[in-house]
Amino acid sequence: MAPLVRVVRLKKYFASGGGWFRHSRGLVRAVDDVSFDIFEGETLGLVGESGCGKSTLARCIVRLVEPDAGTVSFDGDDITHKSMRALRPLRRQIQLVFQDPFASLNPRARIGAMLRAAIKLHGIGTSDTDCAARVSSLLNRVGLPTHFMDSFPSDLSGGQRQRVGIARALAVGPRLIVADEPVSALDVSVQAGILNLLRDLKDELALSMLFISHDLGVIRHVSDRIGVMYLGKLVELAPADAIYERPLHPYTEALLSAIPLPDPDAHLGRKNIVLEGDVPSPLAPPPGCRFHTRCPHAQSLCQSEEPALVEHLPGHRAACHFPLLSGSLPRLPPTWAPTRPR
């Protein structure tokens, strides 16, 4: 089956320094040779620490940022260097859900007016009556009462504003949703409701989704496959269950060991991995494996030769010279993920 989205060897560097300190000028390797696919109806979760390049990668895919190298294809069409005019029809098929729902909404516009504007911009609504019916349907679909059409963003809670952001993304009937940290600005008490909503919408509408988060505890709840990024590189890519039950990359293993579990007994015998040192600067990433300066399993080969992202188990790829094929983490119980509110 051909993928809906195909990213091949994508790179994005940013200039840094200059001015009076030209000697410090360099390139920030935000995204460095990343490849993956997203299939129709699939949610790919992308996880990593802040600054690892995952948001820059998402912006390259939707062409808010111009890639420096590599290709991005959507439904078999190379969109890497299309003009803004040529991209207009594509904007309807790819929509964004942003991290901060308040900053992404016009504070002076009523909710109904914002949704109607999105519908009319793409020529979907044929009349005011039709638009009003679509807006009402969208609000119901994301779990909001229809009287919110007359409300301003400031009248809503954070979770309600994010539901409006999701409704706006759905207004034009997209095939791909790119959700960039959509729950990180929300209280933990409302995160589960938004995650459940996104998962249900994906199933009901057969949507594809790129879901970005720094939290492995959040991303499992919605993802079919998960990619792990470190310092601009994709270091592991596998089905969600495989990532949590048998991580192959030491970085993924460390991230998983830090996830709190609700059952105290589940922590007994569980290995807590504390990574030494800081994340290296993307201006001067280490030679060889970029993780070797913090990796508890690093050997001399890791310092000189960069590992390729290869398949070590069926459907499970890792960029590691010495993958954790024996496994060192106990299996995580399925109960730790967010649950559906009653």
Q: Which of 41, 30, 43, 183 is nearest to 99 (CA)?
A: 183
Q: What are the structure tokens assigned to 111, written together?
A: 């909710």
Mean pLDDT, residues 232-246 taken together: 95
pLDDT greater at residue 50 or residue 260: 50
- Give the chain's domains with CATH numbers: 5-90+212-336 (3.40.50.300)
* 263 pLDDT higher than 80: no
Least confident residue range of 145-159, 182-196, 230-244, 319-333: 319-333
Least confident residue range of 92-101, 143-152, 155-164, 259-268: 259-268
Confidence category of residue 132, pLDDT binned at 50, 70, 90: confident
Rg (CA), the chain: 21
> What b-and-e string marks burial along 235-265, b requiring 16 or more CB atoms within 10 Å of the CB?
bbbbebbbbbebbbbbbbbbbbbeeeeeeee
**Secondary structure (3-state) at 177:** strand
Q: What is the mean pLDDT of the chain?
A: 87
Confidence category of residue 104, pLDDT binned at 50, 70, 90: confident
Q: How far apart, in whole angstroms, are the C-alpha atoms of residue 319 and residue 322?
A: 9
Mean pLDDT, residues 111-115 taken together: 93
pLDDT at 334: 40
Q: How far apart, in whole angstroms, are the C-alpha atoms of residue 11 and residue 49?
A: 19
* 182 pLDDT higher than 50: yes
* 33 pLDDT higher than 80: yes
**Secondary structure (3-state) at 248:** coil
The pairs formed by 304-309 with CB atoms below 8 angstroms and a separation of 24 or more are 309/35, 309/234, 309/235, 309/237
Q: Is the dihedral angle over the CA atoms 230, 39, 178, 257 positive or is it negative? A: negative
* 301 pLDDT higher than 60: yes
Task: Enter the pTM of the model.
Answer: 0.88
Q: Which of 129, 207, 133 is nearest to 175 (CA)?
A: 207
Q: What are phi and psi of 43, to 5 degrees?
A: -110, 120
Q: How far apart, in whole angstroms, are the C-alpha atoms of residue 147 and residue 103?
A: 22
DSSP string computed for 46-107: EE--TTSSHHHHHHHHTTSS--SEEEEEETTEE-TT--HHHHHHHHTTEEEE-S-TTTTS-T
Distances (CA, A) of 256 to 154, 259, 317: 37, 5, 17
Q: Which residues pair with 77 in a beta bridge?
A: 74
Q: Are 77 and 48 in contact (CB under 8 A)?
A: no
* 338 pLDDT higher than 50: no
* 268 pLDDT higher than 60: no
Q: How far apart, in whole angstroms, are the C-alpha atoms of residue 316 and residue 213?
A: 20
**Between the CA atoms of 124, 128, 131 and 136, what dihedral angle is there, to the nearest 10 degrees?**
180
Distances (CA, A) of 125 to 53, 117, 130, 133: 37, 9, 6, 10
Q: Which of 167, 182, 30 is nearest to 101 (CA)?
A: 182
Mean pLDDT, residues 163-175 taken together: 94
